[in-house]
Chains A and B, each alone.
Chain A
């Protein structure tokens, strides 16, 4: 892994995503507690954290899919929740997302899935759209699969087809939700290479949510670590490795942090006395 791969781009990078004081609740439960992050143009930003750290919710905010309780999210300079609907649609055309399970439409062929954004947002003729879809399938090494249904593809192929659909409009920002989840190490590594290729060839800003450390270290320019709804760390891979925080070292070394449980409170929790057990660590 080269040094320059894991450093922030140096040539006056422009901030493409700016998150300020982001707070989110699910009912009474606070998920994000005032998160601040900047993502700059052309970088690969990895968002990491344990289960329940709020990283998936954070990604939904970055994709403008979920309105926060408070705080602002600016994407390409636009405050997403203050935009009129038409402008929000325009903004969304500049974003691409490869969802964890692919989210391909099961009633359409792979080719139709990839062409859908073109069909909806452009006036291109069918033949041009088909050529573009084939070009993107070439990029993700799925040439010739355009007539298959998503159910006929393997897990890795579905993820690559989802990437082809995500990049069909040449977005400026590309999001990946757990790209390595459920894949074997070889396929997972191929997908990492694809992410790097996309950034290098198309100059996209890429934001990846993952908990796969190996994959994260391979592709990251910078890493954001979320912990219980707070930003624990933002920086390069080297800075992460050398960080003194015990929580971060536990995360890197896959050590679990088990909170000490008071015996009386544990008993109360077992017997279902919820009010008494409210203060218990979960």
Chain B
């Protein structure tokens, strides 16, 4: 009896694992299809009289990028200052506070700027994309687009994807500058190092590769945020509650995808 019960528990466990794996694979496949479809409309759209409207791309850039400058700037500055504070505190043990610039520069440019920007854009725009598309779906606005002969991927997804691909790296660059500047201000106050000396050392230690590492990652984060946000919106079922669930799911998936991609990127880049 107990043996049978254990077998049942094991069967249910493997059944759940199997289903989750298939569902995860299915979702990855959907993301792939969405990428291919977006590229298709970007390239083929104009020939089918369905061009991607630049106006829509700029509107999305405004929403995803420009309106996020304030909060991302504040967060980046706080992280830059925090790195400087922690750096000086740790290096003091070895009497090497002067080397804090290395830590701040590398951490900010390679890790923290893309990460904090990605997470904030995910929280702001990934969730907004899911909520907007989900609401459009339950209000039959997506059906209305189809019936009007307007492809929803071309009309809604491609502008968001392009805007995110451009704006997340731009915001990341801004985060790098502001984070370094905040770090420099703290180092100046704590160690008396001039801003010019801080930035001279920063330029000395950083290479173009470091900058591209951060910016390249940010572009991938941007694509992930748009795709995850859009797909969760398209898959909404069951009214307002469904929209809420999709929004939450979108933020969780975006942040998880960003952190895992960041880890993989670090692994590959430092191998």
Task: Assign chain B's interface to a size class.
Answer: 10 to 19
B144 at the interface (CB under 8 A from A): yes
List CB contacts (< 8 Å) of B128-180 with chain A: 135-136, 139-141, 143-144, 146-151, 155
CB of B140 within 8 A of CB of A101, answer yes
A92 at the interface (CB under 8 A from B): yes
CB of A120 within 8 A of CB of B144, answer no
CB of A99 within 8 A of CB of B143, answer yes
A63 and B144 CA atoms in complex are apart in Å by 10
Given A85-B48, A89-B48, A99 and B149 contact (CB-CB distance below 8 Å)? no
Given A85-B48, A86-B48, A89-B50, A120 and B140 contact (CB-CB distance below 8 Å)? no
Neighbour of B147 across the interface among A86, A97, A100, A105, CB < 8 A: A97
Q: Which residues of B contact A258 (CB under 8 A)?
A: none
A85 and B153 CA atoms in complex are apart in Å by 14
A63 and B48 CA atoms in complex are apart in Å by 21
Q: Which residues of B contact A63 (CB under 8 A)?
A: 143, 147
CB of A101 within 8 A of CB of B139, answer yes
CB of B48 within 8 A of CB of A65, answer no
CB of B141 within 8 A of CB of A120, answer no
Given A85-B48, A121-B49, A90 and B149 contact (CB-CB distance below 8 Å)? yes
Which residues does B use to contact A, with CB under 8 Å?
Answer: 48-50, 135-136, 139-141, 143-144, 146-151, 155
Listed by A's residue number, 21 A-B pairs whose Cβ atoms lie within 8 Å are A63-B147, A64-B147, A85-B48, A86-B48, A89-B49, A89-B50, A89-B149, A92-B146, A97-B143, A101-B140, A103-B139, A103-B141, A104-B141, A106-B135, A106-B139, A106-B141, A116-B148, A117-B149, A117-B150, A120-B148, A120-B150
Which residues does A use to contact B, with CB under 8 Å?
Answer: 60, 63-65, 85-86, 89-90, 92-93, 95-97, 99-101, 103-106, 116-117, 120-121
CB of A97 within 8 A of CB of B144, answer yes
CB of A65 within 8 A of CB of B143, answer yes
CB distance from B7 to the nearest CB of A (A): 22
Q: Which residues of B contact A116 (CB under 8 A)?
A: 148, 150
Interface centre among B140, B146, B147, B149 (most CB of A within 10 A): B147
CB distance from B245 to the nearest CB of A (A): 20
CB distance from A121 to the nearest CB of B (A): 7
Q: Which residues of B contact A101 (CB under 8 A)?
A: 139-140
CB of A99 within 8 A of CB of B144, answer yes
CB of B140 within 8 A of CB of A100, answer yes
CB distance from B36 to the nearest CB of A (A): 14
CB of B149 within 8 A of CB of A103, answer no
Given A92-B146, A92-B149, A99 and B140 contact (CB-CB distance below 8 Å)? yes
Residue of A nearest to B47 (CB): A86
Closest 4 interchain pairs by CB?
A92-B149, A103-B144, A103-B140, A89-B149
A99 and B143 CA atoms in complex are apart in Å by 9
Q: Which residues of B contact A96 (CB under 8 A)?
A: 147
